Amino acid sequence: MTKVDPITFAVVRNRLISIANGMIETAAHCGVSSFLSTIMDCSFAILDKDAGIISQSEKGILLFLSSSSPATRSCIDYIGKKNIGPGDVIVSTVPEFTGNHTSDAVLFTPIFFRNTLFGYTTSKAHWQDVGAKNTYPTDATNIYEEGLRIPPAKLFQGGKLQPAILDIIKWNSRAPEQVWGDIQAQIAGCHFGEKQVNELLEKYGIETIDACVEEMYDHSERLTRLAIEKIADGTWIAEDFMDSNGIDLDTPIIIKVAVTVKGSNITIDFTGSDPEQRGPMNGLWVTTLSAARMAVKALTNPELPANEGSNRPVTVIAPKGCVYNAGPAAPTFLCGNVASTILELINKALYAVLPERIPASSGGDVCGMGFFGVDIGTGKQWATLSSAAIGNGADFLSDGDNGTVHHSIAGSAGGSGGSIELTESTFPLVIESYQLVQDSGGAGKNRGGLGSRMQIRLLSPATLFAFIEKGKAPHWGVDGGKEGLRNYSVVQPKDGNEFEVLKTSGMQLHSGTIVSATAGGGGGYGNPLERDPEKVRRDVINGYISEERARLDYGVVVDPQSFEIDKAATRRLRSSLLRDGSTAK
């Protein structure tokens, strides 16, 4: 293989990353719906001829990014590599291939250079509506209730639109023009990448670029293996649960993992997790594989650009028919919530061997919620989706971050709430408040990050959908740290009593209804009685914790007027709490 000098290697590597970033920016600029243009509920990547990840966009849904390779590869295998030619655009919404629910479509194009296949530009994006029984069916009991499934098919062949495929998509959507507009944005992003990669190939030659890509892989593999070798050999296990499957609301779903380290290899095994569910809380192999790989990367070399080399030391096992590897007929619309549990389940297992590197649990979920309906003022159909900002878990060195996106959607604007002004000017609703939730972070020597609460008032009748997890499952602390506040939402009708909601897909709400979504905080790290009293005082001043919890959780007495610490009272209280062996209740 052609040898590459270090300067050429660095230039090519960074250019490939830059092209992937340009792909998602192009799509967002061209996107029609807020899902693509504002929230960036999408991802873009450049793949090699075997569908291995060369580079991926730094923005976008992280779980999408990590699954772009196996998802695209499964589509290629279905069509046959030899049947893909220049100018083709392939699309699929079948969860078995894409690794996501039917609304998240894979769309990709081949990159041919002088009639030789170099690789692919690929994307995933959320389509506003694909004809499911409702826009977000959190109570589906089979895949047929979840909308249009397009097996990998050519939307364009040889550069020519295939009208029959487009008609099938549009005729099966409640928002056909928005969906078609976003499809064209996906295509624009992929074509941008294809053009830019061809220019790079023209400048350096395909042999040089291939050599650079192989060195990128080898470099990532070397660094990943070195990091794994620093973990002691052995097997560590963890168990947790998810709240419900969306149908059996009082029945938790047990999830288990065994993490085995041997030399420079690591195996993630989900054997023992509950079987696939009759509700839509079912995971898919493509995303389970990708989420487990993502967890290992976060633990080993999080700062290193992601590519196929990082995956080589990682083996993932999820028995067919378990909740992490459901069958093709299983409902999977909440598969993202299932995949979101994987990183922290693995962290929970590895805390035993890496206590100074593993944080406590975060708020643990995307805390998704949205509305759809017809605007009574304009007569136009509308839909919006958002995710609430959770608190991250504290770690050995620091407090958890306040009000941040869940790791599974890091890179998107979903958990930040996006632009409040843009949301209010686009949709018939008012965001009455959006704030951090006092006392939501788990108490600890290092405090868990605070979650957030968004209060929304509807200006038009709408249907609520919500897919909130970790409303019952704990946001666990470590080494004596306390749990963070749970996730939940509250519906307050204009005339009536308020009630709590975790999962719903078709709740009809009247104009004037207020919906309050609360994302919980992260777990604490270490004994709260060991927290520096000055840090507790600053937290009280900042409104992060109340004076009451400062006293009960941390044993620190803060004057409510001067915000000064009563040192004598603090010493007495902490001594008393230490004798009792725990913080006060």
Same domain, 430 and 479: yes
Residues 575, 482 share a domain: no
Whether residues 432 and 483 share a domain: the answer is: yes
Domain that holds residue 63: 6-220
Same domain, 96 and 131: yes
Closest CA to 63 of 467, 470, 411, 417: 411
**What's the CA angle centered on 475, arms 469 and 476, to 5 degrees?**
145
Which of 220, 245, 276 is the C-terminal boundary of a domain? 220
Identify whether 77 is part of a domain.
yes
Q: What distance in Å separates the CA atoms of residue 38 and residue 397, rounded to the nearest whole number? A: 34
Co-location of 127 and 80 in the same domain:
yes
Residue 390 contacts residue 401 (beta carbons within 8 Å): no
Shared domain for 191 and 105, answered yes or no, is yes
- Same structural domain, 166 and 28: yes
- The answer to whether residues 88 and 198 belong to one domain is yes
Walk along the chain (585 residues) and give the pLDDT tens digit of each residue: 678 999 999 999 999 999 999 999 999 999 998 889 888 889 999 999 999 999 999 998 888 877 899 999 999 999 999 999 999 999 999 999 999 999 999 999 999 999 999 999 999 999 999 999 988 899 999 999 999 999 999 999 999 999 999 999 999 999 999 999 999 999 999 999 999 999 999 999 999 999 999 999 999 999 999 999 999 999 999 999 999 999 999 999 999 999 999 999 999 999 999 999 999 999 999 999 999 999 999 999 998 888 999 999 999 999 999 999 999 999 999 999 999 999 999 999 999 999 999 999 999 888 889 999 999 999 988 888 877 899 999 999 999 999 998 887 766 655 555 688 988 998 999 999 999 999 999 999 999 999 999 999 999 999 999 999 999 999 999 999 999 999 999 999 988 899 999 999 889 999 999 999 999 999 999 999 999 999 999 999 999 999 999 999 999 999 999 999 999 999 999 999 998 876 544
Residue 45: inside a domain, yes or no? yes
Same domain, 465 and 557: no
Give the Cα-Cα-Cα angle 219, 220, 222 (nearest 5 degrees). Answer: 65
Question: Are residues 378 and 471 part of one domain?
Answer: yes
Instruction: Please report whether residue 342 resides in a domain.
Output: no
Residue 384 lies in a domain: yes
Cα separation, 521 vs 363, in Å, equals 5
Query: How many separate domains does the chain show?
Result: 3
> Considering 220, 248, 280, which residue would you say is the last residue of a domain?
220
Are 71 and 144 part of one and the same domain? yes
- Identify whether 359 is part of a domain: no
State how beta strands 153-157 and 160-161 pair: antiparallel
265 lies in some domain: no
In a domain? residue 148: yes
* pTM for the whole structure: 0.94
Q: Which of 468, 460, 416 lies closest to 136, judged by CA?
A: 468
Among candidate residues 189, 220, 251, the one where a domain is terminated = 220
- Could you tell me if 14 and 157 lie in one domain? yes
Domain membership of residue 336 (yes or no) is no
